Structure 1
Amino acid sequence: MSFVSKTIIEADHELRYLNGAELEILRAYLNSSEKRIKVIKTLRDREKEIISKASRKLFQIHPDYIGPGGNASGSRQRALCLRDYGWYLRLITYSIIAGDKNPVERIGLLGVRDMYNSLGVPLIGMVDSIQCLKDAALAELKSEEEVKLAEPYFDFVIQNMAQ
């Protein structure tokens, strides 16, 4: 659910109009829409470069992952790892446009710990991988303002995987 929808539903649940503070928050959110779209376009258009940088950094931190018997040792396993990078990056863009963590939480985090555990993927590696993805993605953004729009959603994923 988007930030806008959530605000409207809360007011309607209380059978009231949006108050002044809510309207100001909505104004600020709507005024940031062009910046949000710019961030999303940058992340989308630079996806391959972001994933390449992030995976290189991850495999420097955890070289055993690409070594014999590692979770990303073969071309198939490595492709799956890179696919997950793209998947998380895309989910984060959904949250950026919504202005809410709900898209990444509902689609990308519910049950993820169990899934990775069942596949034998170390969760610390997933935390490190999203941190690498965050670093690579934020490096592509042009301003501190753009970084502030994207960073909380990367941090949310990292924190949830680290629990």
Structure 2
Amino acid sequence: RVRIATALSDSERKIVDEASKKLWKKRPDFISPGGNAYGQRERALCLRDYGWYLRLITYGILAGDKEPIESIGLIGVREMYNSLGVPVPGMAEAIRCLKEASLALLNQEDAKEAAPYFDYIAQAMS
């Protein structure tokens, strides 16, 4: 688990960049005028959140348990994003893009170990 968390942490910038490119390609409305990631500041905030969720996933992987993800990052997340006007389904899609970009960097066995942590967050946001 340490090896997986280290690989993800060491590649955070690459993963976030790749995931955001995938997301903007799937959902160009997010970065179009009126979208939640339109403008430099808004886009930077989204990328910050993606990095934060990736770190949260590494905590779960290190612990070998989803409890840290729940207690640190998911309690109240839907309410927070709803109050900010951020589309929660869009965040779930972002997590799926993070998963795809992350797992592409891992070997098959490590990817299989890491995948449920991404799925857990995406499901909680769906």
TM bucket, shorter chain? over 0.9
One of 53, 72, 75 as aligned partner of 2:40: 75
- Equivalences for 1:4-23 in 2 at 5 Å? none
Aligned pair 1:112/2:77, yes or no? Answer: yes
Counterpart position of 1:41:
6
Structure (1 or 2) with the larger CA radius of gyration: 1
Runs of 4+ residues over 4 Å off in structure 1: none
Q: Number of aligned residue pairs: give it.
A: 126
Query: What RMSD in Å do the two structures reach over aligned CA positions?
Result: 0.7
Shift in Å, 1:131 = 0.3
List alignment gaps of at least 5 residues for structure 2. Answer: none
Corresponding position of 1:155: 119
SS at match of 1:131: helix
Deviation of 1:40 after TM superposition, in Å, equals: 0.9
1:96 and 1:69 map into 2 onto residues whose CA distance is 36
Looking at structure 1, the residues matched to 66 and 112 of structure 2 have their Cα atoms a distance apart, in angstroms, of 14
2:97 to 118, 121, 132: 132
Counterpart check, 1:101 vs 2:66: yes
Deviation at 1:144, TM superposition (A): 1.5
Output the CA distance in 1 between the equivalents of 2:7 and 2:90.
Answer: 26
What one-letter code is carried by the residue in structure 2 that aligns with 1:83?
R
One-letter amino acid matched to 2:54 = L
What is the TM-score when the length of structure 2 is the normalising length?
A: 0.97
1:119, CA displacement in angstroms? 0.7
2:65 match: secondary structure: coil
Residue 122 of structure 1, CA deviation: 0.8
Deviation at 1:62, TM superposition (A): 0.9
* Correspondence for 1:23: none
